[in-house]
Structure formats: structure tokens, C-alpha cells
Amino acid sequence: MNDKILMSGNEALAEGAIRAGCKFYAGYPITPQNELTAYMAVNLPKAGGIFIQAESELAAINMVFGAAAAGARAMTSSSSPGISLKQEGISYIAGAELPSVIINVMRGGPGLGNISPSQSDYFQATRGGGHGDYHCLVLAPSSVQESLDLMPLAFNLADKYRTPVMVLSDGMLGQMMEPVSVHSPQSTVHSKKLPEKKWALTGCRGRKPNVVKSFYMQEGGLEKFNLSLQKKYSEIRNKEQRFEMTNVKDAEVIIVAYGIMARIAKSAMQDLNNAGRKVGLIRPVSLWPFPKNAFREIEKSKHFKSFLVVEMSYGQMIEDVLLSVADKSKVDFLGRSGGGIPAEAEIIDKLKKIIRR
């Protein structure tokens, strides 16, 4: 059965969210993610959901706070400068333990930057971004199909852990079009075994009132709460590492790249594999938790020489790679930013130099 349809990465994220049972979307226009908002405006109400074009990014993320507090699967999307504005709300969402999904279709920064693709919001996404001791679970698709397929997982993880989940795309992945199977096994809702939302605000009929808050005035109250958050994060670190490994078994050099950069890196890898070179690829799918487990076995291999981290930034994920290998392995870097994208040929040149070394 040929059920493939042509869609952009941004549209696939939106369609994936609707298929995951998203019932509330609020957003504010910003390039290069506008196709997502427009798709939601047309299709979410048809699926029984609520679409609001908010008056600002701040309003949009706080609408997500309200919708999630009321028990709905809720989402917003934006691009880098807009995500910076949403950080206040994301911190409150993490503090109030509200499940929600935030999409960042990254563009160049800092400041207004430009509308070219970039991966320079990695630190902001994986380190909290807003104030306080919290993390977002972060997932990074590398194709239009995966943009669709990761959305049910994003919503399920949000509900399971009562936490904000960020899906990190970029301007290239968001705007490129690919044929997508909308009936892929991953694109359906897997909401079995998810906890009931007994904490949600529904009116207190037949129960004690519920309070959604992140404010702990009493001495020691916040510390106790933060320790419970840390316990949750520790569980997520153990259970939710996701990655894809390709040709790593006999590899001398292993590229580490995520998102659209991993697609380009994979082509470079295949080119060198065809020429008989032993090159592999690790593609983190979860950026937080960072898939440290992927690095464990590789370092024991006799053939292995070094990692090459390739990013559309001047080096952000490389810090997680360095933490994962803990100085035991050599780690090289290739990165460009501000709209510059490491090309396949650049990656091949770099790999050849590393192999000759």
C-alpha cells in the first residue's frame, strides 16, 4: 500500500502532534516554523482541538501552561529568539510538573540572527534554558518522517514524567519536503499505561481541591520538591536514552551528529565506507538525556581511534560527548554556525585527515 504523502518537516511535526492526541496549540509567528502554525490553524480544530494565535511568545507558552493544567495535551512551537522568550514559561511548566511539548525549529543566533538553519540552541535546550534546577526532555528528529514519528513519543514522555518535552528541529529540516508514511507504526498513539491526570484542574467535585503551582514558601519546602525533581531526572537519565548507531563495530572513526547534521554526516560516512574506510556514526535522538550508553562499548573496541563531532554550531553537543568519554578518547570537532552548514565534502576531508593522522 502506497500511503506516502509529500510534506514539509514543519507540517510533519504538526500532523504528528495531532495524531498524538494534541488538543491545544498556541503559537506566535516566527520564521522558519510558520508552516507548523498554519497547519495547526487548519487541521487542529478539525480534529477537535483548540488553536489560538497568541499575542506573544510569552502568552503562547503560558496558554500551554493553562491548557496542560486543565488536563489537555498541549503544545507550542517557535524558533530560537521566540524560544528564548518562552523560557520563563518553560521554567514554570517544569516547576509545576505539567506535561507539554515545545518545538524549536532552530535558526541562527545570537539575537535576531537570521532565518538560516542552525543548531546553536543545544545548550539552552539541554541545560534548562530558564531559571532554576530543571531539565526538558529533548528529542531531535533527522528526517521529515521522524519529525512525524517522534511526536507521539514526545507527548507520551511528557505525560509519563509530567515534564516539558522539547522537540529540536531546525530551519532546513522544518522546510524541506519529503514523502512521509502517515501510517508508520511509530506515528500512532501509544498512550497505554500512562498515569491518570488526577492532579489536573477540573473543578473539585467529589474530591479535595487541586492546586497547580511551583511556589514553595515554607523553609525546606522547595528543597524537598527539587530533590523529588532530581529523582525524576535521574530515572529519565537511566531509562530514556535514545540513539541510532550505524557501522560502528569495526570503525576507526565515529562521527557524532544529530538532527539534519546527522543526515549529511551519514552521506559522508557512506562515501568513505564505499572507499573501504572504517567510519561509523552515532546519532543521538534524545539530547537530554544524552545517550552516554552509546559510547560505552565503542571505547573497548581495538579498532577505534577517535570521535568526530559535527554540529551546526561552534561546539555545544561536543561537551556532552567529552563528558561521556571522560578523557579516555580523542574527540575532534567540525562546526559552522550563523547559517553556515558543514558540507559532505568538508566532513570527508576532515575524516581523511583524522584517518591519516
Partner 1 sequence: MKKIIKRPRALKDVPTHYCPGCGHGIAHRLVAEVIDDLGIREKVIAVAPVGCAVIAYDYWDFDCSEAAHGRALAVATAIKRVRPENIVFTYQGDGDLAAIGANETLHAANRGENLTVIFINNAIYGMTGGQMAPTTLLGQTTVTTPDGRISQIHGYPLKISEILATLPGVKYVERVSLTSPPEIIKAKIAIKQAFKNQMDKIGFSLVEILSACPTYWGMSANDALSWMKGTMSKEFPLGRIK
The answer to the question of residue 220 lying near partner 1 (CB under 8 A) is no
Those residues whose C-beta lies under 8 Å from the C-beta of residue 254, and which sit 6 or more positions away, are: 248, 279, 280, 281, 282, 298, 304, 306, 307, 308
Among 19, 23, 107, 160, contact with partner 1 (rule: CB under 8 A): 23
Distance CA 272, CA 255 (A): 12
Judging by DSSP bridges, how do beta strands 286-288 and 306-311 pair with one another? Answer: unpaired
Cell numbers placing 232: 525524576
Cβ atoms of 156 and 21 closer than 8 Å: no
User: Smallest distance from the beta carbon of 28 to partner 1, in angstroms?
Assistant: 11
Q: Which of 17, 24, 83, 139 binds partner 1 (CB under 8 A)?
A: 24
Q: Report the C-alpha dihedral over residues 159, 160, 163, 168, rounded to 10 degrees.
A: -80
Contact 308, 332 (CB under 8 A): yes
Q: Which of 5, 45, 56, 195 forms a contact with partner 1 (CB under 8 A)?
A: 56
C-beta of 224: minimal distance to partner 1 in Å?
17
> What is the C-alpha to C-alpha distance for residues 192 and 19, in angstroms, rounded to an integer?
15
Give pairs for 233-241: CB < 8 Å, separation 24+.
233/135, 235/161, 236/135, 236/137, 236/161, 236/163, 236/289, 237/289, 240/137, 240/157, 240/286, 240/289, 241/286, 241/289, 241/290, 241/291, 241/292, 241/293, 241/294
Q: Which is nearer to partner 1, 29 or 339 (CB)?
A: 29
Residue 96 as a binder of partner 1 (CB under 8 A): the answer is yes
Among the residue ranges 67-75, 138-146, 225-233, 312-320, the one whose residues contact partner 1 (CB under 8 A): 67-75
Which of 33, 62, 124, 313 lies at the binding interface for partner 1 (CB under 8 A)? Answer: 62
Whole-angstrom distance, CA of residue 333 vs CA of residue 347: 10
Q: Which of 20, 30, 64, 151 binds partner 1 (CB under 8 A)?
A: 64
As measured in angstroms, the least distance from the Cβ of 241 to partner 1 is: 32
The maximal CA–CA distance of the chain, rounded, in angstroms, is 72
Nearer CB in complex with partner 1: 25/304: 25
> Between 20 and 150, whose beta carbon lies closer to partner 1?
20
Among 14, 54, 105, 272, binds partner 1 (CB under 8 A): 54
In whole angstroms, how close is the CB of 279 to partner 1 at the nearest point?
Answer: 48
Q: Binding of partner 1 at residue 28 (CB under 8 A)?
A: no
CB of 66 to partner 1, least distance (A): 3
Can you tell me whether residue 235 is helix, strand or coil?
helix
Which of 48, 111, 209, 220 forms a contact with partner 1 (CB under 8 A)?
Answer: 209
Instruction: Identify which range of 172-180, 200-208, 298-306, 348-356 contacts partner 1 by CB under 8 A.
Output: 200-208
Q: Which residue ranges make up the site for partner 1 (CB under 8 A)? A: 23-24, 26, 50, 52, 54-56, 58-60, 62-67, 69-72, 74, 88-89, 92, 96, 201-206, 209-215, 217
